[in-house]
Amino acid sequence: MTTVSDLASGTAAWSAALHAEVQQFYAYQMQLLDLAEAQRWAATFTEDATFAVPTLAEPVRGRAGLVAATTRSHAELAAAGQRHRHFMGMLDVRPRPDGAVAVRSYAVVYASEVGGRSRVHRVCVCEDVLVRGGGGELLVSARTVTRDDLA
Amino acid sequence: MTTVSDLASGTAAWSAALHAEVQQFYAYQMQLLDLAEAQRWAATFTEDATFAVPTLAEPVRGRAGLVAATTRSHAELAAAGQRHRHFMGMLDVRPRPDGAVAVRSYAVVYASEVGGRSRVHRVCVCEDVLVRGGGGELLVSARTVTRDDLA
Amino acid sequence: MTTVSDLASGTAAWSAALHAEVQQFYAYQMQLLDLAEAQRWAATFTEDATFAVPTLAEPVRGRAGLVAATTRSHAELAAAGQRHRHFMGMLDVRPRPDGAVAVRSYAVVYASEVGGRSRVHRVCVCEDVLVRGGGGELLVSARTVTRDDLA
C-alpha cells in the first residue's frame, strides 16, 4: 500500500519523458487486455509478476496464471454479451532508488451491453511496480488493485 | 481497423514529446467540440478529412460536413436540456513510416441533464490518422469511431 | 472563464515537459484529496488561493478554508458509506505571458457505495491558474469549477 509519505518522497529521477512513456505503456497494455489478446497482454508483465486483487485470497503469479485468468474473464463477458474497457489515468509516477518505478493510478472499468447501455462497472486504484525488460521496455513486476466498492 | 500486429510494430519515431503533443491536441479539439465551436473544431481536421461512425452508412467527408453534423447534434442536445463531455484517454500513439501518426484511444461520452443527473452515455474506441498542417500543427485526416454498445 | 480565443492564443511557451509536469501535479493533488490528506492537499494551493464552486456564493479563500471544506466533505462521505474519486483529464495547458499556466480540464467524480455500486457522480470543468512556489513546484492560485448538471 502506498502511503502519503511515499507519494511525497523520492522524485529525484522523475522526468517528463518517463511520465509519457508510462502513459504509452498503459495505453498499449490495457488495449491488449480489452482486445482479449491474453498472451500479448501477459508479456507486458515480468515472468514472475504478481497481480493481487481483492476477490482472490492469493495473488496470481506468473504469465501463465495471468493468461488463464484473463481468458476466463473474457469468455464469461462474451457469454454475457458484455464488453469491458479499462480506462486508467491520474498516474502518479515515482521512480525508486533501485531503478524500479512505482505508479499509483486510478482505473475505471466501463461495461457495455451489446445492444444495450454503457455504465461504470468498477472504480479501482492500481499500484504497480514497473521494471525494465531486456530490451529496455517497461514491464509490471507487481500489481495491486483495490476496489472502491469493497470495504 | 488497427490490428494487434499494427499496435506492436513500427514505434521507431515514438517520442515523449509527440505523446504530450497528441494529448494537448485532443484536449483542445474535444473542448472545442463540447463548447459547440463547430468551425474551430472542424479546423482541427484536414480539408478532406473522413469521419466514420457506426450509425452512418458513409463517413462524413470534409469540414463543411463536420460543421453541419456537429451543429445539428448540439442543437438536439440543447433542445433536450442535455450536455455532453467527450473524455479521451489511453492514447496509443504510433508514428508511421510515412510521417503520419496513428492513434488508437478510448473516448467516453458523459451526458448530464441540466437540473438532473450525470451518467455514462457512450464508450467508444477512436482510431485516428493525424498529419501535419502547413504550420506544423496536428490535424485529423481520418477518424473511425466504434461503440461498445453496438454489435 | 476561458474563452475560445484564449484557448487558441499564446502557446509560445508550451512544452511537452510542462504538459507532463501538469499531469503529474494533478495526479498527486487529486490522490491526496481522495486519501483525505487535507493538509497536504491544501499545500498544493498557494497561501491565498481561491477555489470557486457553483454551490457557494463566495469562493473559498486560503489553505485553512480549503482544509475545513474538504475535511467536512470527507466526514459526510464516510458517514454515508461512500467513496469519491476525482479523475481529471483532457488538460488544455496554456502558459501565460506572466509565467503562470492556465489549465482548462475535465474532472469526473465517481461515487462508490461500500458494499454497493459505482457510478458517475459529477461531470465538471476545472479552470486553474497555476504558479510556481519557492521550490519551483506548481501550486494552484485560482480554481473555478463548473458542473454540467447545473444551469
Domain ranges (residues) in chain C: 4-147
Q: Where are the beta strands (DSSP E) in chain A?
A: 45-52, 60-61, 82-95, 101-113, 118-132, 138-147
- Beta-carbon contacts of residue B26 (< 8 Å; ≥ 6 apart): B88, B91, B105, C90
Residue for cell digits 475535465? C106
Q: With CB atoms and an 8 Å threshold, state whether A16 touches B14.
A: no
Q: Which of B16, B21, B28 minimises the CB distance to C7?
A: B28
Average pLDDT over residues A114-138: 97
Q: Which of C20, C37, C40 sits opposite A19 (nearest CB)?
A: C20
What residues 34-93 of chain B have any CB closer than 8 A to a CB of chain C? 35, 37, 40, 83, 85-89
* pLDDT of res. C96: 96
| % chain C with pLDDT above 70 | 92
Closest approach of chain B CAs to the CA of A92, in angstroms? 15
3-state SS, B67-124, equals: HHHHHHHHHHHHHCCEEEEEEEEEEEEEECCCCCEEEEEEEEEEEEECCCCEEEEEEE
Tell if the CB–CB gap between A90 and C119 is shorter than 8 Å: no
Asked if A13 is an interface residue toward chain C (Cβ–Cβ < 8 A), one would say: no
C20 touches chain A (CB under 8 A): yes
Half-sphere exposure of B130 (CA within 13 A, CB side): 25
Instruction: Label residue A96 by pLDDT band (50, 70, 90).
Output: very high
* Cβ–Cβ gap A31/B90 under 8 Å: yes
pLDDT at A45: 98
Measure the CA–CA gap between B19 and A91, rounded to whole angstroms: 15
Q: Residue C140: name the closest of C34, C29, C14, C10 by CA.
A: C29
B20 vs B11: which has the higher pLDDT = B20
By residue count, chain C amounts to: 151
**A20-147 architecture in CATH?**
Roll (3.10)
Closest Cα in chain B, distance from residue A77 (Å): 13
Question: Any residues with CB less than 8 A from the CB of A118 and at least 6 apart, and which?
Answer: A110, A111, A112, B120, B121, B122, B123, B148, B149
Given this model, what pLDDT does residue C151 score? 87
CB contact under 8 A, C119 and A121: no
> What pLDDT is recorded for position C13?
83
Question: Are residues C4 and B89, on separate chains, in Cβ contact within 8 Å?
Answer: no
Mean pLDDT score, C93-108? 97
Q: What confidence tier does A2 reach under pLDDT thresholds 50, 70, 90?
A: very low
Using a CB-CB distance cutoff of 8 angstroms, which residues of chain A are in contact with residue C33?
Answer: none
Please tell me whether residue B12 adopts helix, strand or coil conformation. Answer: coil
Query: What is the Cβ-side half-sphere exposure of residue B13, based on CA atoms within 13 angstroms?
Result: 10
Tens digits of per-residue pLDDT, A49-70?
Answer: 999 999 999 999 999 999 999 9
C110 interfaces chain A, CB cutoff of 8 Å = yes
pLDDT at A4: 40
Task: Of A8-17, B13-22, C52-61, C99-108, give the lowest mean pLDDT range.
Answer: A8-17
Q: What would the grid cell of residue C72 be?
A: 467536512
What are residue C128's DSSP bridge partners? C103, C143
- With CA atoms as reference, report the closest residue to B102 among A24, C83, A140, C6: A24
For the cut 80, the answer to whether the pLDDT of residue B61 exceeds it is yes
Please state which CATH number belongs to domain C4-147.
Answer: 3.10.450.50
DSSP A114: T
pLDDT at residue C58 in the model: 95
Q: Does A9 touch chain C (CB under 8 A)?
A: no
Distance from CA of C132 to the nearest CA of A (A): 17
Judged against a pLDDT cut of 90, whether residue A109 lies above it is answered with yes
B27 and chain A in contact, CB less than 8 A: no
Of A120, A125, A150, the CB nearest to C119: A120
Q: Which residue of B has its CA nearest to A20?
A: B16
CA distance readout (Å), C19 to A15, A17, C86: 11, 11, 19
Residues B68-125 pLDDT 10s:
999 999 999 999 999 999 999 999 999 999 999 999 999 999 999 999 999 999 999 9
Report the pLDDT averaged over residues C128-147: 97
Q: What is the pLDDT of residue C130?
A: 98
Residues of C with Cβ-Cβ distance to A120 under 8 angstroms: 110, 118-120
pLDDT of residue B3: 39
Q: What average pLDDT does the structure give for chain C? A: 93
Work out the average pLDDT over A7-32: 85
* Structure confidence at residue B6 (pLDDT): 41
Please say if the pLDDT value at position C140 is more than 70: yes
**pLDDT > 50? residue C22:** yes
Nearest to C95 by CA among C9, C2, C3, C1: C9
Whole-number pLDDT of residue A13: 83
Which ipTM value was assigned to this complex?
0.92
Q: What is the pLDDT averaged over residues C102-110?
A: 98
Q: Is C85 exposed, middle or buried (0-12, 13-18, 19+ CB in 10 A)?
A: buried
Distance from CA of A64 to the nearest CA of C (A): 31
What CA–CA distance (Å, rounded) separates A134 from A108? 31
Angstrom distance (rounded) from CA B95 to CA B9:
10
For A4, other C-beta atoms within 10 Å of its C-beta total 16
Are B89 and A88 an interchain contact pair (Cβ–Cβ within 8 Å)? yes
Strands B60-61 and A45-52: unpaired
Per-residue pLDDT, B4: 40
